[in-house]
Amino acid sequence: MLLRADLNVPLEDEHVADDTRIEAALPTLSLLREGGARIVLVSHLGRPKGPDPAFSMRPVAERLDERLGAPLGRADAVVGEEVRAAAEELDPGQVLLLENSRFEPGETKNDPELAGRLAQLAELYVNDAFGSSHRAHATTEGVAQLLPAYAGLLLEREVVELSSVRDAPEQPLIVILGGAKVSDKIGVIESFLERAEAILIGGAMCFSFFSAQGTPTGESLVEEEGVVLASRALEAAEGSGCELVLPSDLELGRAFAEGTERRHLDGTEVPDGWMGLDIGPGTADAYAERIALAGTVLWNGPMGAFELEPFAAGTRRVAEAVAEGPGKSIVGGGDSAAALVEFGLAEKVDWLSTGGGASLELLEGKELPGVEALDDA
Ligand code: ADP
Ligand code: MG
């Protein structure tokens, strides 16, 4: 069978820097191996523009070997005669890892010819790559049209958890949004105005909202397009019954740097020469209180520049509140997930989504092509 997993892990010096996604792919892989499947495993890795040794699956294969306790077979290409021969020689329970699917230009174009060649490698297709399923690519959508196509355990759980927050959350639902770009998250804001009791805004995103309200933002990160979107969201919030909550105090720095000069701002008018790099403790406490009373908490995007230790406090406080709160907690977004892992809280939330863009699109109510194409969708 052909198994599409999301093994798109961050690399550092050609080593796996964070293996969260590899771990998340293991349950389906192990279940299929125990069931005696002959598994052709495929994923993309990074964004190479064609074959590029810097994006080879080799480091992923090494990590998988360690985790599976047995060496898996590795192909030097995605498709072709040699790959086909190797796939045919697989014994039950054996795994053949293909090269990075993006080495084939047809992958992102969802080229039917590439999909056809992938389909020749197996009789059955399983998609477990939730994080890639918002893209109609040859390994996520194209091949699913050609073979009997089913969901893997991870993809299924992602869809179940995220759809349940979207469609039938235990109330009150509190949504916490942060991170860098309003434009990434505007769809989620608009879709949850109908369903959430409150949307708590933090991260650089809040400065597009402040700018839209005419509040000075100093040197803070403000997205031009974001200001337009933010004023649209503020307007839509007016009559919605959902509260759109902005920070009431901030932590400022001179520059986006660990050792930068810092000051607290009891208010939100950022003076010239300063940038907002975290929500203040007053805001963090207020957000934590709301989170503690929620039936469901959905969190996407850090509250500040948490990679810089002096500006991690707001994100940490919110992460703790999300982890400790009695409500159901769902967290999405690569950086928010990384923050939870860093704070040692990843095990304490109910669901930590592996899909950034895919989780946002599902929450917005968009259809994911890689999911729709499955026979059991
Ligand atoms: P996620 O991956 O969880 O969806 P994003 O990618 O949207 O989150 O945003 C994460 C990034 O936002 C982090 O790199 C963080 O440094 C940045 N960020 C958050 N708050 C600020 C801020 N006030 N100023 C500049 N960057 C910020
Ligand atoms: Mg991110």
State pLDDT tens for residues 259-314. 999 999 999 999 999 999 999 999 999 999 999 999 999 999 999 999 999 999 99
Q: What is the CATH number of domain 159-364?
A: 3.40.50.1260
Structure confidence by residue, pLDDT tens digits, 65-123: 999 888 899 999 999 999 999 999 999 999 999 999 999 999 999 999 999 999 999 99
pLDDT band at 20 (very low <50, low <70, confident <90, very high): confident
* Predicted confidence band of residue 334 (pLDDT cuts 50, 70, 90): confident
CA-to-CA dists, residue 135 to 109, 127, 130, 140, 204, angstroms: 10, 13, 10, 7, 27
Domain 2-151 indexed as CATH 1.20.120.530: no
DSSP 142: I
Q: Which atom of ligand 1 is nearest to the CA of 332?
A: 3
List the residue whose alpha carbon is closest to atom 15 of ligand 1.
305
- Name every residue whose Cβ is closer than 8 Å to that of residue 239 and which is 6 or more positions away in sequence: none
Domain with CATH 3.40.50.1260 in the chain: 2-151, 159-364
Ligand nearest the Cα atom of residue 359: 1
d(CA 108, ligand 1 centre) in Å: 27
319 closest CA partner among 333, 335, 302, 294: 302
Q: How far is the CA of 302 from the centre of ligand 2 (A)?
A: 9
Q: Which residue's structure tokens are 């040197």?
A: 219
Tokens of 359: 């989780």
> Is 348 an annotated catalytic residue?
no
Task: Say which ligand is closest to the CA of 184.
Answer: 1
| DSSP string for 91-121 | PTT-EEEPPPGGGSTTTTTT-HHHHHHHHTT
Q: How many CA atoms lie within 13 A of 245 on its CB side?
A: 23
- Whether 220 and 246 have beta carbons less than 8 Å apart is answered as no
Task: Report residue 333's pLDDT band, with 50, 70 and 90 as the boundaries.
Answer: confident
